[in-house]
Amino acid sequence: MPMKVIQKRWTNLLIHFLLFSLFSSCSFQFSDDYFVELEQPESSALLTVSLLEDNMIVSQPIMSSYVFNGNNKHRLYSVNITIDNRGILGSSNTSDSFEINPDPLSEGEHEVAIKFQYSSGSRSLADQNDFERYESILRYTIIVDKSSPKPISILGVEVIDGSIFLNWNSVEDNIFQEAHLNVYPPNDYSALRKIELNQEIINSLQFNDTISTDLIMDFSITLKNRYGETESERINLTLDKPKLYGEIIDGSSYKFIWAEHPLYNNFDNYNYNVRPNNTFVTLSNRGGEYVVNDAPTFGQQDYHSLNLQRNNSGYGLHHVSERIHFGKTFDVPWGQTYVFNKERNTIFTVVLDGSSSFNAPRDVVLYELNPENLEVLNSRSLFTIYDSYVDLIIDPVTNDIILDLFDSSYFVDPTSLTIKETFESTDYVAPSDFIITRLRNRFLIIERTNGSNVSIYNTGTDELVYQDAVDYRFFVAEDGSAIFNQGTIYLLNNQSYEAIKTIETTNNVSAHEVLFIPEKQLCVYSNVYGNPVIYNYEQNTSINVSAITNIYRINYDSVNEKLTMFQRDYDGYQIDMAHLVNLNGQVEKSLECFENNTGLQYYPLNRKFISNQGLFLDTYFN
């Protein structure tokens, strides 16, 4: 056994010797061709980053995120994110989020670096034991902008189909987080409302404001970011106020008429308080008419209001209100009287232009007016006076204008409005204080107010035709053919006045209002207690107007041949009644008229009813 063991040992030594001798006798040549380089596998790993682009502008914190995709080959080891080499995130998660906050950064460029390590995916022993890994870096340049937003320029504001539309210039490259449309009352720094505008609206460059209903507004747009805000220049929108007015139907009702609201699509309807019962009705915002069963008062302005409403909304809107009057307006109010010239088919009035204080200078100005709309056709300032009385009639014989003052009368040419002839009271009486002068068909009537007497002179012969005391009031026909004095009617006969009728008194009161209609041979008179009477002095017949009493003034329209009688309404505050009466004594229509003791007067002329407030009716009361 031991031998086998030794012999075997010597046998092994002999084999090693022979192999050594063999390699020692051979020669070798080394070359690159004899090396094999193992190729590393190509990386298929992918890191995607959201909300981050190269050269992007950052003006507010951005929350970004990444997702690593190893395609079942690469394993993620780490992700490190820095801004200017200052770490903001270290993570080994295959997905995570990170914030880029510009607040601690200076304005300008900064580098965001995202470094991530992952396995090679070669499946070698080194790869399997995490000794073989790849490293990649993503670099982004960001630009930090801490400036306030650039202001928007509003290009225009307009109303289309009853709503407000605004448009503005492009907002590209403008950085903001909030936007509001500001709606201001005019010339005010406090906004009525702020309407939020989102990014989509801002980018659309237009906005439809369906909320605002005011008629005068300023608009601006505010842009805001974390570093400041800017407001555009304001642009104004001014809309016409919807017209409100009334139209008389009869003496007990009228139409309330309103125009379409320019912003009718920004609210649903109106709420209207109906008089006199204080009830409320819903009216259309597109305009219309509503019949009010309440007596209209001509000459009085009443306050009417339309409250704007939105359905199912408690939000209070503004209202449209106006002091409305009945009738149409004209440009020559406060005439001392208004008269109609049939021959010229025009209306004349005279105005005292100047201060109303005692003895102040006043220009006497004549106006000729269009008979339909009362627009001014002609005017002339004649002279200056220092008192407050002037009267005007049309001479029925010559169709000239007769202008009466306290102490003189004038013939005025109706075409040129120039004085043709002057008649001074001082040529007939002295002194000229406390008198009223009237010229009627070349008869000069001088009534002395302090001595209560009247004198009538024929200006052609300078003869005294009539003289007597005045016990109450004196009246004369426009052609001088008749007078009323001391309760008696006188007719002109051969250059003298003869009494034809004594008017009975009522409660010992004589007639205090007398009107002559010479072409009809009529004398219409009344006192405060009795009924007015239409007396035909040619036929010596009388018609008693039994339906009315307390008549204090009577006018006659020669065009429609009807009387207007004014009645005191002692039960109505500042209200008188005007009655349209035909020559048969029948009251056809009645109408309330405003009277406040400030010189308001009403004149029926050419089928119109004129108020010296600058109003006239051309419907109903004619």
Q: What is the pLDDT of residues 346-373, one digit of tens each?
A: 999 999 999 988 889 999 999 999 999 9
Residue 22 pLDDT > 50, yes or no? no
Residue 27 has what pLDDT?
Answer: 42
> Where residue 33 falls among pLDDT bands split at 50, 70, 90?
very low
Q: How far apart are the first and last CA of the chain?
A: 165
Quick check: 293 and 249 in contact, CB under 8 A?
no
Mean pLDDT, the chain, whole residue set: 90
Residue 36 has what pLDDT?
Answer: 42
For residue 185, give every residue at least 6 positions away whose Cβ sits within 8 Å of its Cβ, in sequence order, or none: 192, 214, 216, 217, 218
Q: Each residue of 464-484: pLDDT tens digit?
A: 999 999 988 899 999 999 999
CA distances from 125 to 73, 79, 201 (A): 15, 24, 60
Residue 167 pLDDT > 60, yes or no? yes
- Looking at the DSSP bridge assignments, the partners of residue 563 are 556, 581
Closest by alpha carbon to 228, among 154, 174, 180, 176? 176
Assess whether the region 46-144 and the region 154-238 belong to the same CATH fold: yes
- Looking at the DSSP bridge assignments, the partners of residue 276 are none
Residue 3 pLDDT > 50, yes or no? no
In whole angstroms, what is the distance from residue 135 CA to residue 76 CA? 10
Kindly report which listed range (34-48, 320-334, 444-458) carries the lowest average pLDDT score.
34-48
Q: What dotted CATH number matches 330-469? A: 2.130.10.10
Q: Where are the domains of the chain?
A: 46-144, 154-238, 244-326, 330-469, 471-544, 552-622
Q: What is the mean pLDDT of residues 43-51?
A: 93
Q: What is the mean pLDDT of residues 193-219?
A: 94
Residue 40 has what pLDDT?
Answer: 63
Higher pLDDT, 527 or 63: 63
Closest by alpha carbon to 119, among 128, 108, 110, 107? 128
CATH superfamily of 46-144: Immunoglobulins (2.60.40.10)
Q: What is the mean pLDDT of residues 426-449?
A: 92
Strands 443-448, 453-458: parallel, antiparallel or unpaired by DSSP? antiparallel
Residue 601 has what pLDDT?
Answer: 93
Give percent of the chain above pLDDT 70. 92
Give percent of the chain above pLDDT 90. 76
* Strand ranges of the sheet holding 95-100, from the earlier edge strand across to the other edge: 46-50, 62-69, 95-100
Residue 500 pLDDT > 90, yes or no? yes
> Where residue 499 falls among pLDDT bands split at 50, 70, 90?
very high
pTM score:
0.75
Residue 314 has what pLDDT?
Answer: 57
- Looking at the DSSP bridge assignments, the partners of residue 544 are 533
**Per DSSP, which regions of 486-561 are E strands?**
488-492, 497-502, 513-517, 522-526, 533-536, 541-544, 551-557
Compute how many other C-beta atoms are within 10 angstroms of the C-beta atom of residue 614. 17
Q: Each residue of 525-544: pLDDT tens digit?
A: 998 788 999 999 999 999 99
Q: What dotted CATH number matches 154-238? A: 2.60.40.10
Give the three-class secondary structure for 2: helix
Residue 128 has what pLDDT?
Answer: 80
Closest by alpha carbon to 541, among 500, 512, 509? 500
The token duo for 584 is 């048969």
- Position of tokens 């982004």? 140
The token duo for 341 is 């010239």
Encode burial over 63-102: b for 16+ CB neighbours within 10 A, e otherwise: ebebebebeebbbbeebebebeeeeebebeeeebebebeb
Q: Each residue of 501-520: pLDDT tens digit?
A: 999 887 777 888 999 999 99
Residue 191 pLDDT > 90, yes or no? no
Higher pLDDT, 595 or 514: 514
Give the three-class secondary structure for 562: strand
In whole angstroms, what is the distance from residue 28 CA to residue 142 CA? 62
- Looking at the DSSP bridge assignments, the partners of residue 522 are 517, 536
